[in-house]
A and B are shown apart, each in its own frame.
Chain A
Amino acid sequence: MSFKDFISDRERRALMGLLALGALGFVAGWLSHSARLWPGFLLNAFYFLTLALGAMVFVSIHHVSNAGWSTAIRRIPEAMMGYVPLGAVMMLLTFFGRRAIYRWTHEAVVHSDGVLSVKAWLLNTPSFFARMAIILAIWIAFMALLRRESFRQDEDGRLEHTMRSKKISAVFLVVFALTFSLASFDWLMSIEPEFYSTIYAFYCFSGLFVSGIAAIAILVIWLRRRGFLPEVGEEHLHNLGKLIFGFTTFWAYIWISQYLLIYYANLPEETIYYIRQMATPGWYGLFLLNLFLNWIIPFVILLPRQAKRREGWLMIACVIVLVGHWLDLYLMIFPQIGAAAMIGPYDLMLGMGFTALFLYTFLRSLKQAALLPVHDPYLQESLALGSHEAEAGVY
C-alpha cells in the first residue's frame, strides 16, 4: 500500500517533518503544563474530523440526489472519509485532557453551581465519553459501508452497489443529522456549560459542509495539477465553486441567525458566549476576521463566473475558507475557557501535525482504489459534463 505515485520523496519527508512538528508541539505543551494544549488538541481533532465528515455528507448527498456530475471526483471525498477512524481515535484522546477543556468535569465546580448540578445527568465524564464512542462508531460503520459498496462495484460492475449506496446514504444523512447535533452540543457547546443555543449544531454543520467541499476542491485541483484526474474539467470545478459560494453564504446566514437572536433577546446565559468573543480588542479583531475569512472575502472572490472555473482563484478561496473555519472553531473554544486572544505555538504546531496526519491517511486511502469509479453507471454522464452530448441531453 504505497502512495509514492502521488507525491515525491521530498514531499513525503516534508509531511514527516510536519508530523514531527505536531508531536513536538504536543510534548512541549505537555511538559510546560500549558492550559492551551488540550483545547488546541480538541480544536484540531474536531476540525480535521469535520473535513472527513464533510466529505462523507458530500458523497451521501451525491448518492441520494442521483447526482451525475460528481461521479468523476467521488474518489477524492471517499479517500478523505478514510480519515474518520483515525479522527475518532484523536477525539477519544481528549479524554485525557477533559479537565483542561470542560469545566463540568470538576466536581467542586458542579456542586457549587445549581445549573451544572441539574445538567450533571447529561454532562458527566462516563456518559459523555460513552456517547462519544457510540457516535464515532456509528460514523465509522457508515464510512466503511459506503466505501465498500463503491470499491466492490469496481470489481464486479453490478448496478446493485449503486442502489445500495443510495439506501445507505439516505439512512446515514438522517442518522448523521441526529448524531452530529448531539456531538456538537456535547463536544463544543458544553465547554461553556451554562450557555445554550438551539441552532448551534446547525451552525457547526454549515461550517463542516463548506470546509469539507473546500477541502475536496483543493485536493481535486492539486491532483489535477500533477496530471491525475485528466477527466476533470472546468465544469466540475465550476460546480464545486458554486457549492462553495453557496455554502459560505449559508454559513453567514446561520451565523447571523444565531447572533441576531442572542443579541435581540439579551439573556445573560446566552450573551456570555458573544461577550467573551468581543470583550477584548484581541478577541474582537478575531471575531471580525472570522466574518471576513468565512464569508465576505470568499463571497467577493467567487462572485464572478470565471473565478469559479479557474483553478487559481478557486484554490485561493478554498484556502481562505479552510483557514476561516479553523479560526471559527478557535473562537468557539478558546474564549469559552477564558484564554487570551493569541493563537499560540502549540495550536499551530498541532494544526500542522494534524494536517500531515490527514494528508497521510488521505493518500493511503486514495491508493486503495482506482481514481475513477470505472463501473459507475453515472460515470459517462460525469465525464461528458459540459460537452455537446451532455448539452443536447443525450445522457
Chain B
Amino acid sequence: MPATDRQPNVRYMAGFFKRERDVLAAVREARRAGLQIHDVYTPFAVHGMDRAMGLRRSRLTWIAFVAGVMGLAAGLALQIWTSVYDWPLNVGGAPFNSFPLFIPVTFELTVLFSGLIAIGMLLIRNRLWLFSKRRVFDRVTDDLFVCVIKQSDAASDAEEAAKVFTRHGAIRVTEGDQFV
C-alpha cells in the first residue's frame, strides 16, 4: 500500500469498523463517490480489498524475482569459484565441477535472497522497519478495521467521507493525521 509522507493542510478522515464486510462496502462506496482512499488498516489481509481500493499490481513480485536470480547466481558463483578454481579438492574421485552437488546450496540461496530481500523491501516501502516511528491505530492489530480517506480539493470531502462511514456502520469517525 502506498504510504506517502504526511502533507500539510490536508485533512484525513478515519472510519472505524467492527466487521470486514462493512469496511469492504464502505471502501467500495467511497471510491464510487470519488473520494480518495489514503489507506485501509486491517488486522489481517482482507480478500478483495486490493480490488476494492483499486490498487495497482504490486511490484514486489519483480523484486522477489530479481533477488532470486541474484541468489541463484551468487550460489553458483560461490561454489564454482571455491571448488573448481580457487581450491579444488579431490573428494572420493568426483570431478571438481560436480554440478549436481551444487544444486541444493544454489536452491537455498535463491530462496534466501528472494525471501529476505522481498521482506526487506516490503518493510522499507510501508515504512515499518525496526524502530520506525510510525504509529498504528489502537486495536487495528486486534479486531478493528480502519479506512482512512484523504481530502482532495473539494472542501466537502471530509463530510462526505463521514457520511459514507456512518452509513456502513462505522462505530467511530475521527479526523487527524497523527497516524498517517
Enumerate chain A interface residues (CB-CB to B < 8 A). 256, 259-260, 263-264, 266, 303, 305, 388, 390-394
A266 touches B101 (CB 8 A): no
For A256, list chain B residues within 8 Å (CB). Answer: 100, 103
Contact-residue size bin, chain B (C-beta under 8 Å from the other chain): 10 to 19
A393's partner among B21, B92, B98, B103 (CB-CB below 8 A) is B21
Residue on A with the closest CB to B93?
Answer: A266
A264 touches B48 (CB 8 A): no
For A394, list chain B residues within 8 Å (CB). Answer: 21
Where chain A touches its partner, the secondary structure class is: helix
For A266, list chain B residues within 8 Å (CB). Answer: 92, 94
Query: How many angstroms between the C-alpha atoms of A43 and B100 in the bound complex?
Result: 28
Residue on B with the closest CB to A388?
Answer: B48
A259, A266, A388, A390 interface centre (most CB from chain B within 10 Å): A388
Enumerate chain B interface residues (CB-CB to A < 8 A). 20-21, 24, 46-48, 61, 65, 92, 94, 98, 100-101, 103-104
Closest 3 CB pairs of A and B: A391-B48, A391-B47, A392-B21
For A264, list chain B residues within 8 Å (CB). Answer: 101
A260 touches B24 (CB 8 A): no
Q: Give chain A nearest CB distance to B96 CB in angstroms.
A: 15
Query: How many angstroms between the C-alpha atoms of A394 and B101 in the bound complex?
Result: 50
A260, A266, A305, A392 interface centre (most CB from chain B within 10 Å): A392
B101's partner among A263, A388, A391, A393 (CB-CB below 8 A) is A263
A260's partner among B21, B46, B101 (CB-CB below 8 A) is B101
A260 touches B104 (CB 8 A): yes
Query: How many angstroms between the C-alpha atoms of A259 and B100 in the bound complex?
Result: 8
Residue on A with the closest CB to B51?
Answer: A391
Residue on B with the closest CB to A390?
Answer: B47
For A391, list chain B residues within 8 Å (CB). Answer: 24, 46-48
